[in-house]
Amino acid sequence: IKKNRVKEIENIVLELKKNFKDSFYFEIQRHGDEGEKNLENIFLDLSLKFKLPIIASREIYYINKDMHEAHDALICIGEKTYINEKNRKKFSEEHYLKNSDEIKKVYSDLPEALENNYLFPYRFNFKLNKSQPVLPTIKISNGLNEADELLNQSKEGLKNRLNNFVFKKKGEINRSQIEKTYYSRLDHEIKIINEMKYAGYFLIVSDYVRWAKKNNIPVGPGRGSGAGSLVAYSLDITDLDPIEFDLIFERFLNPDRVSMPDFDIDFCEEKRDLVFKYLKSKYTDGVAHIITFGKLKARMALRDIGRVLGLPYGHVDKICKMIPFDPSRPLTLKESIEREPRIKEEQKNNNKVKKLIELSLKLEDINRNLATHAAGVVIAGEKLSEQVPLYKDKSSDLLLPSTQFNMHSSESAGLVKFDILGLNTLTVINKTIQILKNKKINLDISKIPLDDPEIYKLLSTGETTGLFQLESTGVRSSLKQMKPNKFEDIIALVALYRPGPMNNIPIYNDCKNG
């Protein structure tokens, strides 16, 4: 290191010493890596000069010494290099977790560095606890609190829903009884929402859903347990009347099972980015995508490590295809080897394949790459950068940064997730409506009848390609057997068509048809 650089380091040291006083140490590391010895000598000189303590530490990249080769292969995967390349990033074999005796031997000439290391944990006392959910403060123009605002908006919204939809379907005869049923349910839900302090959550979701609808961005009618909320129906978050379909609010929010509410809102796939733009303009530095981590699964591990070892792609591909494919329960590499004798044979007859399998077993299931959660964003009360570390991919055109914590860790840190899903079906419906408009046919998708017999005739033929959740081969076959004639039949089929309950579809169909 040049003299002027050392002077620069001295100035930084003086500044740090002034701010941190006796809580500032020089860190000495010994892994046998290039440049470490030179830096250590400078640090030891500065330690004497400024009377600063030294502390021994290590960078642990793997637990056991025999993992060095696998870690080296992992570096090659990340750097897109090959094991046999000379000029590539390399680390020494010393980055494993040494025991006390090994550490004492490494720092035998600097006992004070080790002593400081052992005493260091006594200098602080901090436990990282789960944080309570932190939502942004909603700016309410009339000075009301969030609970009162939720009540006002819900009552106003329910009044519109009753006049525009419910009374038109059920008639005006039992108006007072209908109103009593709906307002009683609304009060019950509002009480639970306010007790659980989730009024702000409902107002935030309602705000961006209403904004999307006003700006001609198609929004789904609602799905999942959130469709059981009358408050959500009143706030335009969903377009399904939970009382008409006998849906249960407690599936969504339940005081006996405290968890954050979670609305899955579908938006037109082509216009979803506009919703992200809106959130960015409204919450500025308080909104981000959620990071996800791609894992090195069995096949991916073999392909990646095969490449860095320089094995022919065709040969590696042949071995990958020997791994049984079971999406419902993906097998580990170890399980695959035990099940597939051909892999054992390849391993036995070819040393390179033996090395490939050995390294793949060591690296399987570790994080391989960064990606962005397909739908999740977090909206926080403060600047996100003051709550969690953030990540911005320079090569990506994403408007928002990502959290460096995954979904579960973000929630533990007090961040609240909102699902902004992109659904191609909504895009198709929207484009179809535009084509019809050009032909002077105006169709309001929210007012199409659910009892049109012609539709059920069509569904009974099984010709349902392109219909959301009704287009798989199995569902189409079930539709033919069921011969649906009311909307509740479709509800039942979608509910039954999942592993386990689907075995009962033939019984259901037989009962329905007498």
pLDDT per residue as tens digits for the range 359-391: 999 999 999 889 898 888 999 877 899 889 999
pLDDT at 299 over 90: yes
- Are the CB atoms for 265 and 420 separated by under 8 Å? yes
pLDDT value of residue 82: 95
Residue 125 vs residue 81, higher pLDDT: 81
Mean pLDDT to the nearest integer, 114-141 = 86
Query: Three-state SS for 373?
Result: strand
C-alpha dihedral, 293 to 294 to 295 to 301, nearest 10°: -150
Least confident of 36-45, 65-74, 107-116: 36-45
pLDDT at 2 over 80: no
Q: What is the pTM of this model?
A: 0.83
CA distance 77 to 71: 10
CA distance 500 to 514: 24
Query: Three-state SS for 496?
Result: helix
Please report the sign of the dihedral spanned by the C-alpha atoms of residue 349, residue 352, residue 354, residue 357: negative
pLDDT in tens, 57-91: 999 999 999 999 999 999 999 999 999 998 999 99
CA distance 97 to 425: 52
Write the DSSP assignment of 271-307 as a string of letters: THHHHHHHHHHHHGGGEEEEEEEEE--HHHHHHHHHH
Mean pLDDT to the nearest integer, 260-274 = 92
CA distance 160 to 41: 77
Query: Three-state SS for 390?
Result: strand
CA distance 265 to 220: 7
pLDDT value of residue 14: 94
Distances (CA, A) of 228 to 210, 255, 403: 19, 15, 31
**DSSP state at residue 172:** S
pLDDT at 170 over 90: no
CA distance 478 to 484: 10
pLDDT in tens, 316-326: 999 999 998 87
pLDDT at 327 over 80: no
pLDDT value of residue 31: 94
Residue 502 structure tokens: 């689907």
- Are the CB atoms for 200 and 379 separated by under 8 Å? no
CA distance 209 to 215: 10
Residue 436 structure tokens: 């019809």
Q: For the chain, what's the residue count? A: 514
pLDDT value of residue 143: 77
Mean pLDDT to the nearest integer, 136-140 = 82
pLDDT value of residue 51: 93
CA distance 482 to 458: 12
Q: How confident is the model at residue 306 (pLDDT cuts 50, 70, 90)?
A: very high
**pLDDT over 70 percentage in the chain:** 99
Instruction: Give 141: exposed, middle or buried? Use CB within 10 Å, 0-12, 13-18, 19+.
Output: exposed
pLDDT value of residue 1: 65
Backbone angles phi, psi at 277, to 5 degrees: -60, -45
The side-by-side arrangement of strands in the sheet containing 367-379 is 264-268, 417-423, 367-379, 287-295, 402-403, 390-391
Q: How confident is the model at residue 172 (pLDDT cuts 50, 70, 90)?
A: low
pLDDT at 351 over 80: yes
Residue 322 structure tokens: 């020997």
pLDDT at 142 over 80: no
Instruction: Give 326: exposed, middle or buried? Use CB within 10 Å, 0-12, 13-18, 19+.
Output: exposed
pLDDT value of residue 277: 95
Side chain identity, residue 315 = H
With tokens 């050995």, the residue in question is 358
Sequence-distant (≥ 6) Cβ neighbours of residue 446 within 8 angstroms: 221, 239
pLDDT value of residue 127: 83
pLDDT value of residue 329: 80
Query: Three-state SS for 375?
Result: strand
Residue 292 vs residue 259, higher pLDDT: 292
pLDDT value of residue 90: 92
pLDDT in tens, 220-251: 999 889 999 999 999 999 999 999 999 999 99
C-alpha dihedral, 439 to 441 to 445 to 450, nearest 10°: -120
CA distance 225 to 222: 9
pLDDT at 422 over 70: yes
Sequence-distant (≥ 6) Cβ neighbours of residue 368 within 8 angstroms: 77, 293, 294, 295, 296, 300, 304
pLDDT value of residue 468: 86
Angle subtended at Cα 112 by Cα 107 and Cα 116, rounded to the nearest 5 degrees: 100
Distances (CA, A) of 477 to 74, 98, 460, 500: 47, 61, 9, 17
pLDDT at 38 over 90: no
CA distance 412 to 90: 36
pLDDT value of residue 353: 93
Q: What mean pLDDT, rounded, does the chain reach?
A: 91
pLDDT in tens, 479-492: 999 999 999 999 99
pLDDT at 405 over 90: yes
* CB atoms closer than 10 angstroms to residue 154: 26
Helix, strand, coil % (nearest 5) of the chain? 55, 10, 35
